[in-house]
Each structure stands twice: as structure tokens, then as C-alpha cells.
Amino acid sequence: MTQSQSRSLDPASWQTVQPERGGLWIFTGIRDFIDNIANSSPARLALTAYVVAILLFTGLLSLPAASADGAVTPIHQALFTAVSSVCVTGLTVVSTATHWTFFGQLVILVGIFVGGLGTLTLASLLALMVSKRLGVRGKLIAQEAMNNAGRLGEVGTLLRIVISTSVTIEAVLAIAMIPRFLTLGEDFWQAVWHGVFYSISSFNNAGFTPHSDGIVPYETDLWILVPLMLGVFLGSLGFPVMLVLRRHGLNWRKWSLHTKLTIQVSLILLIAGAVLWALMEWDNTNTIANMSVGDKITHSLFASVMTRSGGFNLVDQGHMDSTTRLLSDALMFAGGGSASTAGGIKVTTIAVMFLAIVAEARGDDDVKVYGRTIPEGTMRVAISVIVAGATLVCVSAFLLLAISGASLDRVLFETISAFATVGLSTNLSAELPPAGVYVLAALMFAGRIGTITLASALALRQRRQLFHYPEERPIIG
């Protein structure tokens, strides 16, 4: 422990500092505390930052000024809404449009923006603001979160680029939608509010809507639907991809392997999801059967984009065929890109596992793609993410089945939607008792923080083995 640290932790020194510097010793203690966490485990700092943010927004949403009726919102409803906004999920237990006042909706919107910056990005920013420095390990972790998009000394610049990119895209989306709300008869400030709300909610893949009937009234309005789809898709790519695109544009050869895999798999899932969704719902009279061909195509494309993390919906999820709901479960579990505003196990995880299966089928020793070899450690991480995600979903579904008594397909849909921070719902969330609400809130938190980050935050240290046992292969399959 350094001399400055021992002085800040010595109560005797507090008594001497307090009269001279007022309450600065409190700030010094907080700064040193966060500094120690940031340097020892940035993942723990991310976990701490999210917990603090959720508790803060829960307190704000519990205020009488946040609810339309002027009463204190029950703690389980305020906590669930805070977790859903900070974890950019979009699941709700009360109507966003009717239950909350403008102040309450503003708190939700700020929570969406803060949560959308990303777990490690938020942690790095907190360390920068409070301690004024990251430390070497903090910089390395932040750089790794950006997929090595810059040199070690550029981390601060990269973080500023992340924020400026987010604000720029959200501003463009808002400017695109505000005129449409004006032409639909809304007054100026209401149109501005709705444009800003939808732009932040879409880019951060949150799915919150300030209208009581959601975006269903705009189900054929491409002026509204296209910006929403673009915002969700861009947000689901992830900041590492956007940084590469910002630096190299559409020059494929200069893209990183992460960027290539993320964009390629995202487009495959987008197209395949739209085609399959259309085939399954084409003749469903409860959804799109009575629409024109153009509207059916629009609904199918919109559903494919939103199912992977956006959370906006044009049709009642409870009216879809069971096969479509199963397709939605798969797309939600897949999610979007790493270090993005999307959830799920991430598309690069799927790509790595698929490439490993192909390599095993061919009898190759290495997993290769685009002239690069994927390390074995990456494959082990991919397996861990998939198993951890499936375990969380299974355990949570089991608990919700016992608590709610609802059917398995509804419970599984709601559980995967919470884990993947999607926000699509069959209205089960609003029907759950407080115990079920807490289960979904915990699942949203675990899904947003990420299984790898959560595991590293809870681990005391990484074990290093200095020896290896002899190899022996068990029979598989």
C-alpha cells in the first residue's frame, strides 16, 4: 500500500484533513476505493457501476413525481423498470406511457442512454471521471473491449469516440423522425420528445415506447419503421465494428476478423430470420395474413431485426404460431455483436462454434477463417458463454414455471427475452407476482453484464497452473 493510500484509509488523518479541506476527504476515499477496484479488476468496477446505477434509478422511479397518480411506485415495479432501462431490455410491468410522468419517462430514457454505453465502457468512464486516470490494467481491459481498435495511449480518445458516435447516430435518427411526428398532428415539443425517445431507445436496442399502444399505429409507416430498424441494426453491431467502419469505411481487406464475422453473421441471421418469419406467419390471420405483400415483407424484415435485440413489435407476440415463437427464441438467444447495445450470446460466439464444427468435420487441427487461425482459448470462451447462457435460461425458466404456472412456451419466450435483453413479451411480465418480477430482473442484469464479465467480477483471481497432467481423451458421442 502506498503512502497516499495508507493516509486516506487512516481515520486519524481524516480528522486532520477534514477541518482544512471540508468534505474533500470523502471524495478522496471514494476515488481511492474506485481506483483500487479499477486496477485490480475492471470487471468488478463494471459490476459495481451497474449496481449503483440501478439503485439510483430505482430510487428516482420510486418518487411520487415519477408516477402519473402521484403515489409511490411499489419497489418491485420501480426496480424492474430501472433494471430494464439500464440493461436496455424493454420489458415492462407497468405501461411506460400511462404509469410514468414526463419525469419518470425522462429517468427511463437517461437509464437507457447510460446502459447503452456498454458495461466496460461505462466502467472505464467512471474510473476516468472519479480517479482521473485508468491505470495500465484498466487501459488494457478497455482496449480489449474496443477489440484493440487503438493503441494503449488512445483509450481515452476511443471512449470519447464511443460517446460522440452514439450521440451523432441518435441525433440523426431523431431528426429523421421528428418531421413525421409533426405531420401526424403532434405539437412541436411532443414531436421532438417522441423523436428523441425513439432514437435513443432504438439505437440502444431498448424497445421502450412513449405511446400506450407502442408503434402499432405506424405498422405501415416506413418513415418511422426504417429509422427504427437502422438504429437497432447499427446499435447491434457493436462499438468495435463501428470504430473499424469509421476508420476504414467499406474497405473489406482492412477490416478486422471480428468486424468481418460480426457483419457477415448479422446479415445472415437478418435475411434468414425475415424469410423464415414470413413463411411461418404468411397465412396467420391473427398477424399478417390480411395485409398486402409489401406490408407482409415489411413486417417480416422488421420482426427479424427486432427479435435479435430491438424489442419493438408490430404484432401481438401471443398471436404468433408456436413455430414462429420458437424461431424468435433462437434469434433472441443469438443476439447481436460483442460490446454492443444488443444482448444474447453474440454472433461472434455462434461464428466461432460453427467454424469449430466445420474444422472438426474436415479433420483440421486448426480453426481457420479469412487467413487467420482462431486460438483454442477463444473456442473455450465461446463454449463457456453458450453453456452459461443456456444454464441461466433453464434455471430462470424453471423458477418462473413454479411461480407463475404459465405454459412452457410463454415462460421460455419471456425468459430468453429477458436474458438476451430483447424486450419482446407475451405480457407475462405484467402478470407475474413480485417473486417472478425479481427473477426476471436478476436475469436481465446477468444477461446485460455478460456471463464472462460476471464470472470475472466474482472470481477473486485467475489461477495459473505450473504443471500439466498427461493427456487422455475420453469417448465423445
Residues 219-243: pLDDT tens digits? 999 999 999 999 999 999 988 888 8
Measured distance CA(419)–CA(333) in Å, rounded? 8
pLDDT (tens digit, 9 = 90+) per residue, 131-166?
Answer: 444 455 555 555 555 555 554 445 566 677 778 888
Mean pLDDT of 266-280: 96
Q: Which residues contact 469 (CB under 8 A, 6 or more apart)?
A: none
pLDDT exceeds 80 at position 260: yes
Give the lowest-confidence range in 75-79, 281-285, 323-327, 449-453.
Answer: 449-453
pLDDT (tens digit, 9 = 90+) per residue, 33-60?
Answer: 555 555 555 566 677 788 889 999 999 9
Q: Is 474 left (phi over 0), alpha (psi -120 to 50) or beta?
A: beta
Measured distance CA(57)–CA(370) in Å, rounded? 45
Mean pLDDT of 108-120: 83
Q: Which residues contact 161 (CB under 8 A, 6 or more apart)?
A: 243, 246
For residue 228, the number of C-alpha atoms closer than 13 Å in the C-beta half-sphere is 36
Mean pLDDT of 64-87: 94
Q: Which residue has the cell 481506483?
A: 35
Characterize 28-49 residue by residue with b for buried, 16 or more Cβ atoms within 10 angstroms of its Cβ, and e for exposed.
beebbebbbbbbebbbbbbbbb
Q: What are the cell numbers at 77? A: 415495479
Maximum mean pLDDT: which of 16-20, 406-410, 450-454: 406-410
pLDDT at residue 146 in the model: 52
- Coil, strand or helix at 279: helix
pLDDT band at residue 21, thresholds of 50, 70 and 90? very low
pLDDT at residue 15 in the model: 40
Name the average pLDDT for the chain.
83
Could you count the other beta carbons within 10 Å of the beta carbon of residue 123? Answer: 31
Q: Is the Cβ–Cβ distance between 71 and 403 less than 8 Å?
A: no
In sign, the C-alpha dihedral spanning 383, 387, 392, 397 is positive
pLDDT band at residue 1, thresholds of 50, 70 and 90? very low
pLDDT at residue 295 in the model: 94
pLDDT band at residue 473, thresholds of 50, 70 and 90? confident
Question: Nearest Cα to 450, choosing from 149, 238, 140?
Answer: 238
pLDDT at residue 9 in the model: 40
Q: Is the Cβ–Cβ distance between 311 and 396 less than 8 Å?
A: no
pLDDT at residue 448 in the model: 86
- Coil, strand or helix at 464: coil
% of the chain surpassing 70 pLDDT: 79
pLDDT at residue 384 in the model: 85
Instruction: Please report which helix (H) or strand (E) contains residue 262, including its range.
Output: helix 257-281
Q: Is the Cβ–Cβ distance between 379 and 352 less than 8 Å?
A: yes
Q: What are phi and psi of 194, to 5 degrees?
A: -65, -40
Q: For the chain, give every domain's residue range.
A: 21-458
